[in-house]
Structure 1
Amino acid sequence: MDNVHGFDGDLNSGLIDGVDDEPVVDEPKLEIGSDERRMHVRAYNHWVSLLGGRAYPSIEDLDPANIADFGPHAVLLDFSRGVEDPVIAYLGSALRAECDLDSSVTLISQVPSRSLLSRLTDHYLQIIANRAPIGFEAEFVSQRGFNTMYRGILMPFSSDEDTIDFIYGVINWKELVDAELQAQLDAEVQAAVRAAPPRATTAPIWADGPSAEREEADDTAGADTDEDETRSPAGPAANLADQLMLAQQTAAAVRAADTRTRSTLYRALGRAHDFAAAADRDPGSYEALLDAAGITLQLRAPMTPVVKLVFGADYDKTRLTEYAAVLGYARRMAVPTGGLGDFLDAFDGGIKGVVKAERALRQPAAKPKPDRRIALARKPVLASFALETGVPVGDYVVLLARSGTNGEVQVVASIGDAGLTEKAIRAAG
């Protein structure tokens, strides 16, 4: 059964208030190699390189037939004639061969439902709704009857810099062998890894998907350390743009209806926290990413641009503010890289508690109220006469007087109202 993760509309309403009541979803194990993951990093970086300060790259700048790296695994959808049944403007040779499609297939409606291409095209409406790239990975039984794991990314293009009327997708896949042969291969690989000297992590993997939480366990069992982005996403060779996309793809799961869980949100905020730490070490690249996204650096709210980069500038403003408060408090408390998830788990009230604590620290200290009675006691006495008021010596009383002839003041009543007396003291002070 498919288990695809990507943007699925802004379905995060109630995420903070109801997060303690969300069930924890056990995500299926999915292992796709680093080459498949890095292909999507390169595809995304190519999309970013074509932005040129615009909201979406121009379709005129895309030449899918001449991208040797991932072009054979790509498809270009044309929505200029409507979104109901877009035209397949380009289909890469490897993807066409895998799906066994000939040149007569030119519309989405003609794509076989159990083909690999349908796995990619099933998500095109999501990207139009969310107006941003989406990534996903899943496992399904192909039309040839083979269990196939795949990973895809969809990226928007425009002909007028405003309307999304083209979508460029890249997908990679691998077929699973039968269980007996897989067990034999696993045993041989683990034995070979145990016998090999340890290697340093060289690069993070691309995206966050159903297997993200399982990868740490896989690594301790002897998996290839090149895929260990979960433990060390900010290694010395990590590229800041790659780290950003890793955080963005984790955040994408937060917006998907079927992964709206506390663990998913904590993991997304953890990746955003790690990205913020990496941005501190590489401010030049960080400013370049902000410029490319059209986001302004805010000195008074330094975490707001970070959450806008990770979750999207068009994300719910209330959530962005809360997430920025979480990252700000984590920085204030010197939470280490990779440690925000545990920090939130241990914090009383979770995200809501952290937001409350951060806002309390930002609240300026209340200024002490001046004691107006002290100031009033220093004022000179204008007149003194005997009058029974029932007020203790040294306290104040309001007298009602009228003006008489020759400057005479005629007291007609004493008023024992405490509220009125306080107002008179404030006025006199």
Structure 2
Amino acid sequence: MDMAPRGLSDRNERRREDEDDAAMTERPLDIGTDERRMHVRAYNHWVSLLQGRAYPSIEDLDPGNIADFGPHSVLLDFTGGIEDPAIRYLGAALREECGVDGSITHIAQVPSRSLLSRLTDHYLQIIANRAPIGFEAEFIGQRGHNTLYRGILMPFSSDEDTIDFIYGVINWKELVDAETQARLAAEVEESRRAVPRPSPTAPVWADGPSAGISQEAAEPKAPALLPSGLSDRLMLARESAAAARASDTRSRAALYRALARAYDFARATEADEDGYVAILDSAGLKRQERAPMTPAVKLVFGADYDKTRVTEFAAVLAHARRNDVPEGELDGFLDSAEGGIKGIVKAERALRRPAKKPDIFARAAEELRERPPLAHVPIRAVDDCDFVVLVARPGEDGLDIVATVPGDRALIERAVKKAAA
């Protein structure tokens, strides 16, 4: 294996590979449920280690003891500089897939066109964005096979402030060539036709691969995809939120999808309040009467998520609920709303804003203007004001005015309010 640092020609080759990846990323990737969710589980683990800090402590990370995704991970050490980070941990599954051993110690030694290179090539984005970065694409691997992969890189710190470690997790699926795929598909189809159709036991995705297939004709080839309870809905919402939060593109569509699933979860809590309370308790959260959607948003996006964004997202969900938006339709509601998220937040805050208290002075003044005068006194007003306070004493035939009180606006307002009461 070539252990020499990669030169200019290799960087040019890598640039061509990145261009290929960019063109392929927009294509729908046929990766199974476990592969799609591994990066979400890794992200949730990262969130659990935050504990109110900007970045999790590297002391709390032990990749070797993470049975779930540890074998698919790599830990990069930047304490010696960012030009050629050291590789402190490389999972067994990733080592085997890339055909490397323990002698590889730095990024410069990572073989070109290896799966590991697809993961380590993104590390500078973490330094720039100071947040987790998710990515997915397909490429021609070392064995010449087309490979789909999905990964996430997450920052860690040794001093709670500086990003000097990055932990990456990647999963992949190697595809067979088109001819083999077609032959296998034909064999599966022939086998399927030879077996009597069982009655359906699971609902069908309305917008998924089974769209257009009637419920009666649906076949239970896999476990139910629709969420059966709050925990399943929460998992789906967190998956979308992680994709939106960790995505290097931060697309509006991804955010709308995450909010839509968060809204569906929030609506589902209305039918299972006990289950919702149990989930909140396990997450250390409480229900909020004045902001009922805030705990749901924190459950989905993370309690450490930016407070301003949490408040905005909660306002979006509350406004949708106020307008009785059906489950599964929030993304469409957002698309059609004037001003998008910002417009909805503005509208919701306007509805929550308390009505202005009536101006008691203005009302009293208007009433006194309409009253007929009790008497007319030929005294010139010294202030440019609608009303004047006069000081009088009882006389033989009425009141004897002895003075005016000019310039005291507060006294005039109190007198007007009192007179109109």
TM-score normalized by the length of structure 1: 0.68
Cα distance 1:46–1:227, how it changes in 2: closer, same or farther (>3 A)? farther
Equivalent residue for 1:283, pick from 277, 282, 285: 277
Aligned partner letter, 1:245: R
Q: Which runs of 5+ in 1 are unaligned?
A: 6-25, 203-213, 390-395, 413-420
Aligned partner letter, 1:248: A
Query: How far off its partner does 1:47 sit?
Result: 4.6
Q: Which runs of 5+ in 2 are unaligned?
A: 1-19
Aligned length: 374
CA distance in 1, matches of 2:223, 2:206: 8
Residues 244, 309 of structure 1: 8 Å contact kept: no
CA distance in 2, matches of 1:401, 1:238: 73
Q: Provide the residue aligned with 1:249 in structure 2.
A: 242
Matching of residue 372 in structure 1 with residue 364 in structure 2 = yes
CA distance in 2, matches of 1:134, 1:297: 31
Cα distance 1:363–1:127, how it changes in 2: closer, same or farther (>3 A)? same
Q: Provide the residue aligned with 1:11 in structure 2.
A: none
CA distance in 2, matches of 1:315, 1:4: 31
CA distance in 1, matches of 2:243, 2:345: 21
Is the partner of 2:242 in helix, strand or coil? helix
Map 1:37-48 to 2 at 5 A.
37-44=36-43, 46-47=45-46
Q: Provide the residue aligned with 1:180 in structure 2.
A: 179
Q: Provide the residue aligned with 1:143 in structure 2.
A: 142
Q: Provide the residue aligned with 1:168 in structure 2.
A: 167
Residues 58, 158 of structure 1: 8 Å contact kept: yes
Larger mean CA deviation between 125-134 and 139-148 belongs to: 125-134
Cα distance 1:114–1:215, how it changes in 2: closer, same or farther (>3 A)? farther
Q: Deviations over 1:346-393 (max 9, x none)?
A: 445543443343123212223344421476479997x7347699xxxx
CA distance in 1, matches of 2:159, 2:186: 54
Aligned partner letter, 1:359: R
CA distance in 1, matches of 2:286, 2:229: 27
Residues 398, 424 of structure 1: 8 Å contact kept: yes
Cα distance 1:226–1:156, how it changes in 2: closer, same or farther (>3 A)? farther
Q: Provide the residue aligned with 1:360 in structure 2.
A: 350
Bigger relative contact order, structure 1 or 2 (CA pairs below 8 A, ≥6 apart): 1
Is the partner of 1:149 in helix, strand or coil? strand
Residues 76, 89 of structure 1: 8 Å contact kept: yes
Aligned partner letter, 1:89: R
Equivalent residue for 2:257, pick from 267, 273, 277: 267
Residues 41, 242 of structure 1: 8 Å contact kept: no
Is the partner of 2:74 in helix, strand or coil? strand
Map 1:211-250 to 2 at 5 A.
216-220=207-211, 226=222, 232=226, 234-236=227-229, 238-239=231-232, 242-250=235-243
CA distance in 2, matches of 1:278, 1:165: 41
Cα distance 1:323–1:428, how it changes in 2: closer, same or farther (>3 A)? same
Map 1:38-187 to 2 at 5 A.
38-44=37-43, 46-47=45-46, 56-187=55-186
Residues 250, 271 of structure 1: 8 Å contact kept: no
CA distance in 2, matches of 1:314, 1:300: 20
CA distance in 2, matches of 1:388, 1:333: 61
Cα distance 1:400–1:365, how it changes in 2: closer, same or farther (>3 A)? closer
Cα distance 1:240–1:397, how it changes in 2: closer, same or farther (>3 A)? closer
Query: How far off its partner does 1:72 sit?
Result: 2.7
Matching of residue 340 in structure 1 with residue 330 in structure 2 = yes
Larger mean CA deviation between 342-351 and 27-36 belongs to: 342-351
- In percent, how many aligned pairs have the same letter? 57
Aligned partner letter, 1:242: M
Q: Deviations over 1:158-206 (max 9, x none)?
A: 444554433332222112222233233334445666755334379xxxx
Residues 372, 425 of structure 1: 8 Å contact kept: no
Map 1:308-327 to 2 at 5 A.
308=298, 310-311=300-301, 319-327=309-317
